[in-house]
Amino acid sequence: MKFFVDTAVIEEIAELNDLGMVDGVTTNPSLILKSGRDIIEVITEICALVEGPVSAEVVATKADDMIAEGRKLAAIAPNIAVKVPLTWDGLKACKVLSGEGKMVNVTLCFSANQALLAAKAGATFISPFIGRLDDINLDGLQLIADIREIYDNYGYETQILAASIRSANHMSECARIGADVATAPPSVIKAMANHILTDKGLQQFLADWAKTGQSIA
């Protein structure tokens, strides 16, 4: 499973990228706001840092305007994935932009039917928001499984990009189910390394080592 990091903060991306933990980046208007940066400026910098797809989201709501914004964003760098919402106008924009050879990430997906439409419109990525489904007592991980089954049934090439990841458990479950990509905040990716038995084992090793009175350095 590929890891995309869900942030627009350059320092966070660079740290994970140096460890080989970044296969791509996703951004959205909320993350751009949090970064405090100009969208074109920060997206340009991210694209220069990361080789994989970098999702940059349109903010228009009408298809023609989305297409215009998508073309402007795609012109930033060849690894831009234009992010459009899963609305009827968003699907229209996806069809046009994907037909022009641009990568398109269709976001805010909450049902298997929506995912099926996105695949037929030529989406490169479909972004089901599993955490937001969990928030309203629906099973976000089941949606990933449903989309996986449908796409495999018919050979759709659209990649399942699990989004709205809230925990390290979400990451492992998405990998188990067969999501192609998971995008998560840096804190969640780092949390995947944590385990209480690792911490306890390390404490014991260090305590025993101190008793030897030895030094490796």
3-class SS at 30?
A: helix
Q: Would the pLDDT of 109 be above 90?
A: yes
Q: How far apart are CA 146 and CA 112, in angstroms?
A: 6
Q: Where are the domains of the chain?
A: 2-192
Q: Could you tell me if residue 83 is left (phi over 0), alpha (psi between -120 and 50 degrees) or otherwise beta?
A: beta
Q: How far apart are CA 191 and CA 107, in angstroms?
A: 25
Q: Would the pLDDT of 191 be above 90?
A: yes
Query: Which pLDDT value is given to residue 137?
Result: 97
Report if pTM > 0.75: yes
Integer CA distances (angstroms), 60 to 22, 52, 87, 114, in order:
28, 25, 12, 20
Contact 112, 134 (CB under 8 A): no
Query: Which pLDDT value is given to residue 66?
Result: 98
Write the pLDDT tens digit of every residue in 33-81. 999 999 999 999 999 999 999 999 999 999 999 999 999 999 999 999 9
* Averaged pLDDT of the chain: 97
Residue 99, both tokens:
């037909």
Residue 96, both tokens:
């046009």
Adjacent-strand bridge partners of 50: none
Q: Would the pLDDT of 31 be above 90?
A: yes
Query: Which pLDDT value is given to residue 122?
Result: 98
Q: Confidence class of residue 133 from pLDDT cuts 50, 70 and 90?
A: very high
Q: Would the pLDDT of 217 be above 90?
A: no
| Residue 109, burial from CB neighbour count under 10 angstroms (0-12, 13-18, 19+) | buried
Q: Percent of the chain having pLDDT more than 90?
A: 100
Q: How far apart are CA 45 and CA 7, in angstroms?
A: 13
Q: Please identify, in words, the CATH class of the domain defined by 2-192.
A: alpha beta
Write the pLDDT tens digit of every residue in 149-173. 999 999 999 999 999 999 999 999 9
Residues in contact with 28: Cβ distance below 8 Å, sequence separation at least 6, in sequence order:
55, 57, 83, 107
Supply the residues annotated as catalytic. 83
Cβ-based neighbour number of residue 49 at 10 Å: 14
